[in-house]
Amino acid sequence: MLTPTSKIYVAGHNGLVGSAIWKNLQQRGYQNLVGKSHRELDLLDPLAVKEFFDREQPEAVILAAAHVGGIMANLRYRADFIYQNLQIQQNVIGEAWKHGVQKLLFLGSTCIYPKEAPQPMREDCLLTSPLEYTNEPYAIAKIAGLKMCESFNLQYGTNYIAVMPTNLYGPNDNFHLENSHVLPAMIRKIHLAKCLNEGNWEAVRRDVGLRPVSIPQENIRIDETSSEDDILHVLAYYGITPHSVTLWGSGAPMREFLWSEEMADASVHVLLNVDFKDTCTHATTNSDGITEWRNCHINVGTGKEISIRQAAELIVNEIDFAGELCWDRSKPDGTLKKLTDVSKLHSLGWHHKIEIEEGIHRLYQWYLQGICINHQS
C-alpha cells in the first residue's frame, strides 16, 4: 500500500497529464516524487532507464510519457509513433518489473478502439474489428502497453493498471499548429487570427516569439524578429489570416474531451484505491477449457460528446473572433464518433466535474499567460 512517503516516479512529469498528476499527488500530501526531463533521462535508451531504476528504486511508477500528436502528425510520422511508444513502454514497464515496483499506472488512449466500435465504447470492444487507419501505429503501441500490464499481472502477480483517457486538454499542452491536439491547435489559430484582425502585431510577435512557427518544406521559420510579410505568409500556410481561420476536416466528427487535471485526479484515484483484481472481474472459459482474462483496462472520460465544429464555435465565442470559420475537407476527419462508456470508472468511485465550456475558458486563460513548456517549432 502506498503512503505519502512512498517514492513515486512520474514518467513524463512535464507533459500535459504528467504535470497535472505531479500537482495532484503533491496536493494529496505525496512529496517523495521523482521526475526527469527528456534531457536528463532518455526513455528510449534501455541502459539509461535501467541505471535510473537501479539508482532510484521507486515503489510506484506512473507512465505518462509518450510520443503524441494530432491527426496529421499521426498520419505522416507513423514509424515514429509506433517505434518510440513501444520502446518507452518496453523500457519502463520492463524495468519496473525487474526492480519489484509495487504499483504501476500506464496511460494509454481511447484510440485503441476499433473505428466502427459500438457507441459508447466499452472496454470489451477492444480488438473486435479494424482500427482507424490514421493513428493505427500509435493505437497498436498503446494496445501493446495495456497488454504488457495485463500479462505481467497474470504471469507474475504484479499490480499494473492501464487507464485509457479520452481526448485531453489543459495546462502545459502543446500548442504546435500542426502536431498538437485538436483543442489547443484551434485555440491558438483563432487567437492569432483575432490578433491579426485587430492589427495587434505586438501580441502576434509575442506569440510566435514564445512558440516559433515554421514551414519545413520552404525552410522558413518565424519568430518575434520576422517581418510582417513572412509572418503573414507562414500563418496563412496554417489557415490563419486576418479575416478567417481554416480548420482541418469537415467539423462533423463527434468528440469527447476531458480536462487534463481531471484526468490526473482520476489517475491518482486509481493508483491509490484500485487494484488489478478490481478491474478484471469477468473471466470466460473458451472451447479449449482455458480461462480468459481480458479487457482489464479502465476508460477515463466524461461520457459526453460535442462536434469539432461546435467546439470551434465555443472557442470563437470565448476569444471573440469576428472573422470567418472555414473547413478544409481535403484533410481527414478521422473516426466520426468516439464516445467512451465510463461505467467501470464510475463503479470504481470517480466522476468528472468540469464541462467543456468551462474547460475552454480555463485553457484560453492559461494560454494568455504566455507559459511555454512543451512546444517544438
Looking at residue 238, what DSSP letter applies?
A: T
Q: What letters, b where the CB count within 10 A reaches 16 and e where it falls short, cover 131-157? A: bbebbbbbbbbbbbbbbbbbebbeeee
Amino acid identity for residue 84 in this structure: Q
Element (H, E) at 206: helix 201-210
Q: What are the residue ranges of helices labelled H in 243-298? A: 260-273, 276-279
Looking at residue 336, what DSSP letter applies?
A: S
CA 60 to mean position of chain CA atoms: 21
Which of the residues 9, 113, 138, 364 is marked catalytic?
Answer: 138
Looking at residue 340, what DSSP letter applies?
A: B
> Exposed, middle or buried, 306 (CB in 10 Å: 0-12/13-18/19+)?
middle
Strand intervals (E) in 68-149: 103-107
Looking at residue 121, what DSSP letter applies?
A: B
56 Cβ contact partners less than 8 Å away, ≥ 6 residues apart: 7, 9, 34
* Catalytic residue flag (residue 113): no
> Exposed, middle or buried, 234 (CB in 10 Å: 0-12/13-18/19+)?
buried
Residues tagged active-site:
138
